[in-house]
Amino acid sequence: MSAQIVPPLAAEDLERASRRDALEQVILVDDQDRAIGEAGKLDSHRLGQLHRAFSILVFNADGDLLLQRRADSKYHFASRWSNSCCGHPRPGESTPMAAGRRLREEFGIRVPLTERAELVYRAEDQESGLIEHEYLHVFHGVHTGDPRPDPTEIGAWRWMSLPEINRSLRLHPHWFTPWFKLLVERLLAR
Catalytic residues: 86, 134
Q: How many CA within 13 A on the CB side of residue 71?
A: 20
DSSP 81-125: EE-SEEE-PPTT--HHHHHHHHHHHHH------EEEEEEEEEEE-
21 class by beta-carbon count within 10 Å (0-12 exposed, 13-18 middle, 19+ buried): middle
Main-chain dihedrals φ then ψ at residue 96, nearest 5 degrees: -60, -40
Mention every residue, 6+ apart, whose C-beta is less than 8 A from residue 156: 3, 4, 5, 6, 68, 69
